[in-house]
Structure 1
Amino acid sequence: MKISHIVSACVFAAVTGTVANAHATLEVKEAEVGSYYKAVVRIGHGCDGSATKSMRVQIPEGVLSVKPMPKPGWTLETVNGAYENSYELHGRTMTEGVKEVVWTGELAAPHFDEFVFMAKLDKSLPAGEMLFFPTVQSCFEGANPWVEIPAKGQDPHELKKPAPGLMLTAPNAHSH
């Protein structure tokens, strides 16, 4: 094998290894069922050198009353839809709400940023399980679909494009 091929293979391995470890992640990876949760989705890079132009976060069933944080210089959109189930929140029955949050702007490829929203984690969500927020990072050239959800028993670290995951915990008996 030629030296140039070995060097090219090493560079490719180094680059793809770095990309595989730089995912869309949640800053706080654990929250109590029935609590309010501040989700901070972090993006660590662009798409193969291309700047990010939008972030689309899918809101899973049982996550209610979503309120996204505006970002200076970015436009903000929420996509509403029907829930699969109905939920009680502050004495009201909720049958629809925010299903996606979309930020549109520009983030240079070598920079990172955070995309934030608040939400209520319904008390019916299963403590001890992971809740996933599929996220699509669109760039001016290409995209990073952070949407893979592990199968039951599968290690999320085995996935190439894992969705940000939140471990749901039982409510604290002493919380108000």
Structure 2
Amino acid sequence: MSKNASRLRPSSALLRRLPVVGGVAAGSLLLVAGPAFAHVSVQPGTAEKGGYSTIALKVPNEKDNASTVQLELDLDPKHPLASVMPQPVPGWDVKVEKSKLDKPLEMHGKTITEAVTKVTWSGGKIDPGQFQQFALSVGQLPTDADELVFKALQTYSDNDVVRWIDASKPGGEEPEHPAPTLKLVDKGTLNGGAAAKPDAKAGAKDAKDAKDENAAAKDDQGDGTDTTARVLGIVGIVVGVAGVAFGVVAGRRRTAA
């Protein structure tokens, strides 16, 4: 082999290092990409327009050296909600703030002049590597909007505040700190809507099949009973014949004696 070829061929030591270098590079990529998926979000992310829903703010702790100690949620002022009720979270205090509406709401025959505009949870903590859900019962959801955007401020024990307030653009890249968003869909379209209606013909066919199966089962049961009876009859005949034979042999022995 020529000297040039020897120079071009990698050494065995370098070949041994390649998997290690590749593993470190892949691990570094995961560490960089991982936190991008861990952001404050609304669960579930979809609800029906004009209805009531129970949602939860899912809050992960993204830091390794600090805990989340407060979450402040600002509701969409363009689409006020007449009813916002937080579910108690053990270890956390909750504060609900209301503001007067520029335009009163009419709901269930009542005029609503103020609505909840901010909810704050504090006093607890979310440790590194953990998350917490803060549930809210909300309604009546608007019928003239396709989404509700909430702005959330996440405060850490080191006084760092992460502002989840960036708007997401359809078809665009996700912002660094996207605001939690609840998508709103028309009534009847959630969970398949009309697709879940039963098929009458299919139901009739299933009923007929079930009837045929029951009839077949009864026939099989009857056949089994007949077979059992035949076996018992044959056994009885064999036993009877054996008894007669035994009697004849015993009689001959007595006569010979």
**TM-score range relative to shorter protein:** 0.7 to 0.9
Among 81, 85, 98, the alignment partner of 1:80 is 98
In 2, Cα distance between equivalents of 1:83 and 1:134 = 19
- Which structure carries more helix by proportion? 2
Q: TM-score, normalization: structure 1?
A: 0.81
Distance 1:47 1:63, change over 3 A: farther
Query: Equivalent residue for 1:51?
Result: 67
Which of these two proteins has the greater Rg computed from alpha carbons? 2
In 2, Cα distance between equivalents of 1:11 and 1:20 = 15
Write the deviation string for residues 52-111 of structure 1: whole angstroms up to 9, x where unpaired: 001111111232210011111111101111234321122111121211111102111211
Sequence identity percentage: 24
Q: Number of paired residues?
A: 165
Contact 1:62 1:125 in 2 (8 A): no
1:169 aligns with 2:188: no
Contact 1:78 1:101 in 2 (8 A): yes
1:135 aligns with 2:135: no
Among 42, 52, 55, the alignment partner of 2:58 is 42
In 2, Cα distance between equivalents of 1:154 and 1:93 = 39
In 2, Cα distance between equivalents of 1:89 and 1:113 = 33
Matches within 5 A, 1:95-110: 95-104=113-122, 105-110=124-129
In 2, Cα distance between equivalents of 1:125 and 1:62 = 12
Query: Equivalent residue for 2:112?
Result: 94
Q: Which has the higher contact order (CA 8 A, sep 6+)?
A: 1
- Which structure carries more strand by proportion? 1
Contact 1:32 1:168 in 2 (8 A): yes
Distance 1:123 1:53, change over 3 A: closer
Distance 1:84 1:163, change over 3 A: farther
Deviates more, 1:84-93 or 1:140-149: 84-93
The one-letter code of the counterpart of 2:116 is: V
Distance 1:15 1:111, change over 3 A: same
Q: TM-score, normalization: structure 2?
A: 0.57
RMSD of the alignment, in Å? 2.6
Unaligned runs of 5+ in 2: 1-22, 194-257
In 2, Cα distance between equivalents of 1:49 and 1:91 = 52
In 2, Cα distance between equivalents of 1:17 and 1:39 = 27
